């Protein structure tokens, strides 16, 4: 399935889309929310790049289900802040409870931030304690961030402009240490210039999670960071007006510590695709022989879990456990068939059955499939009805059963050139391919594979030409 955020790892022809996992890895790519192209630091080459936003009362009412459906997998929500004025009055974000409940219900991972103007350690600690009261009862997959920055209004520069660099850094430590003492992960947010000039960014990034804002085509922060806020001009379904947009980089984690989730054995079940919705399969976490308990020992968030392809469970330690682990799982059209249950000299059988020629009859197809002794197989239509005649087409299934009739595995049939499932390549298939190329439609994996007339792993203008040649009889599509 094609993801809205497409990373350009190789030079690609215009209108060409690769069959890549839903989550793409560090490189260059175009944001789905503002259309601009961004470059990711090479240190994130092995990281999964996750799309997220940060919001406050300024966004007003948010339809979080639409936000999740638009590809947003995490949100950092303002819990409150302190005013710029001399009195430094602390305030709540009136939309905090509504936002965090809505985001969590929609299946979006959450963290929070407090807009600080703390002048002293005492004020920073007070802000942290206030934040802890507000978030009590909520499970957070992401840190509690201190948002610390100068006012942009020259007439009212804020409360922290005249503080020393060391005092500001000390205030950050006071806030974050108070958060960590309560059992939460602590983080720090500001813009690149503030990180470089107004606090000791190196010291902060070595001790806490860093979230850096830089509205440029790359993040130029020299030290470690987890999240990059790359723009404030995002257009996200479910939110009126502009939205801050972020990339989060989740890298593979390992640990030999018995208290780290990174060292645990984690299994996540695969999921069968049943249309656009959240897929949240069961997660089992074991530390040695001990099975850990969700909510007590770990929290789970899901990434890219609405479409066909590779999705991820983000498993984060809580309570006595620290660290995280990112575990992939498949969302597929069928569970697939293991190689020892069904073989063919003509077709390749696995998650899909490929190599099936256009206008292949059910009888011919069945002659080219053999199953393990004691097992049987059927050809099923996309709706699940057994097929005994006609032609097999893209979306039909090969289904293997044991002697008792139990389904052992199913694989989706792909006939290159046939996108509509009739086993032929015609004008409707050509129209479907054109819609895919110009982004008018968003087809599933089997149909995308059927569009790949040249069998080169991509869909583009060359395939369109191959469809046309086949339809007018100049050159047949070979499977």
Q: What is the 3-state secondary structure (H, E, C) of the chain?
A: CCCCCCECCCCCCCCCEECCCCCCECCEEECCCCCCEEECCHHHCCCEEEEEEEECHHHCCCCHHHHHHCCCCEEEEEEEEECCCCCCCEEECCCHHHHHHHHHHCCCEEEEEEEECCCCHHHHHHHHHHHHHHHCCCCCCCCEEEEECCCCCCCCCCCCCCCCHHHHHHHHHHHHHHHHHCCCCEEEEEEHHHHHHCCCHHHHHHHCEEEEECCCCECCCCCCCCEEEEEEEECCCCCCCCEEEEEEEECCCCCCCCCEHHHCEEEECCEECCCCCCCCCCEEEEECCEECCECCCEEEEEECCCCCEEEEEEEEECCCCECEEEEEEEEECCCECCCCCEECCCCEECCEEECCCCCCEHHHHHHCCEECCCCEEEEECCCCCECCCCECCCCCEEEEECCCCCEEEEEEECCCCCCCCCCCCCHHHHHHHHHHHCCCCCCCHHHHHHHCCCCCCEECHHHHHHHHHHHCCCCCCCC
Q: pLDDT value at position 23?
A: 36
Written as six digits, the tokens of 205 are 């990034």
Instruction: Identify the top-confidence range among 70-84, 147-161, 323-337.
Output: 70-84
Q: What is the pLDDT of residues 299-353, one digit of tens each?
A: 999 999 998 889 999 999 999 999 999 999 999 888 899 989 999 999 999 999 9
In 3D space, the residue among 52, 81, 45, 85 whose CA is nearest the CA of residue 67 turns out to be 52
pLDDT mean across residues, the chain: 92
Place of tokens 């066909």: 308
pLDDT given for residue 7 in this prediction: 32
Q: Which two tokens stand for residue 344?
A: 């063919």
Predicted local distance difference test score (pLDDT) of residue 252:
83
- pLDDT for 156 equals 79
Q: Tokens 């594979």 sit at which residue?
A: 449
Tell me which residue of 269, 359, 301 sits closest to 74, measured CA to CA.
301
Which of the four pLDDT bands, split at 50, 70 and 90, describes residue 12? very low
With CA atoms as reference, report the closest residue to 381 among 367, 355, 399. Answer: 399
Average pLDDT over residues 389-413: 95
The pLDDT tens digits for 162-203 are: 999 999 999 999 999 999 999 999 999 999 999 999 999 999
Helix orientation angle between 427-437 and 461-471, rounded to the nearest 10 degrees: 170
Instruction: List the structure tokens of 360.
Output: 């292949």
Distance CA 404, CA 53 (A): 51
């Amino acid at each position: 399935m094609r993801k809205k955020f497409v990373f350009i790892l190789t030079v690609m022809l215009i209108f060409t889309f690769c069959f890549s996992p839903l989550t793409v890895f560090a490189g260059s790519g175009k944001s789905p929310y503002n259309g601009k192209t961004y470059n990711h630091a090479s240190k994130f080459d092995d990281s999964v790049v996750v799309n997220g936003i940060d919001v406050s009362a300024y966004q007003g009412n948010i339809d979080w289900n639409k936000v999740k459906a638009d590809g947003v997998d995490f949100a950092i929500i303002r819990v409150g802040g302190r005013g710029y004025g001399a009195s430094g009055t602390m305030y709540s974000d009136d939309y905090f409870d509504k936002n965090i409940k809505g985001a969590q219900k929609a299946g979006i991972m959450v963290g929070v931030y407090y807009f600080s103007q703390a002048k002293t350690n005492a004020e920073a600690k007070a802000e942290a304690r206030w934040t802890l009261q507000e978030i009590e009862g909520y499970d957070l997959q992401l840190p509690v961030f201190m948002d610390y920055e100068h006012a942009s209004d020259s007439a009212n520069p804020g409360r922290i402009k005249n503080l020393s660099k060391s005092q500001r850094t000390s205030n950050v430590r006071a806030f974050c240490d108070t958060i960590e003492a309560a059992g939460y992960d602590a983080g720090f947010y500001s813009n690149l210039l503030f990180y470089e000039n107004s606090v000791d960014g190196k010291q902060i990034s070595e001790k806490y999670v860093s979230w850096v804002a830089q509205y440029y085509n790359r993040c130029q922060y020299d030290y470690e960071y987890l999240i990059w806020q790359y723009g404030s001009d995002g257009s996200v379904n479910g939110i009126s007006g502009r939205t801050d947009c972020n990339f989060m980089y989740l890298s593979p984690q390992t640990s030999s510590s018995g208290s780290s989730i990174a060292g645990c054995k984690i299994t996540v079940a695969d999921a069968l695709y049943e249309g656009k919705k959240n897929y949240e399969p069961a997660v089992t976490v074991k530390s040695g022989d001990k099975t850990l308990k969700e909510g007590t020992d770990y929290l789970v968030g899901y990434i890219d879990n609405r479409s066909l392809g590779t999705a991820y469970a983000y498993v984060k330690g809580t309570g006595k456990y620290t660290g995280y682990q990112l575990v992939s799982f498949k969302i597929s059209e069928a569970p697939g068939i293991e190689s020892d249950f069904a073989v063919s000299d003509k077709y390749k059988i696995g998650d899909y059955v490929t190599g099936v020629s256009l206008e292949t009859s059910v009888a011919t197809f069945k002659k080219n499939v053999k199953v393990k002794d004691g097992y049987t197989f059927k050809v099923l239509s996309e709706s699940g009805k057994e097929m005994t005649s006609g032609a097999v087409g893209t979306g039909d299934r090969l289904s293997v059963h044991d002697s008792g009739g139990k389904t052992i595995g199913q694989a989706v049939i792909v006939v290159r050139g046939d996108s509509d499932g009739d086993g032929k390549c015609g004008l409707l298939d050509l129209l479907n391919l054109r819609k895919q190329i110009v982004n008018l439609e968003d087809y599933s994996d089997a149909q995308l594979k059927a569009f790949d007339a040249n069998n080169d792993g991509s869909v583009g203008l060359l395939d369109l030409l191959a469809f046309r040649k086949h339809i007018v009889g100049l050159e047949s599509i070979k499977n």
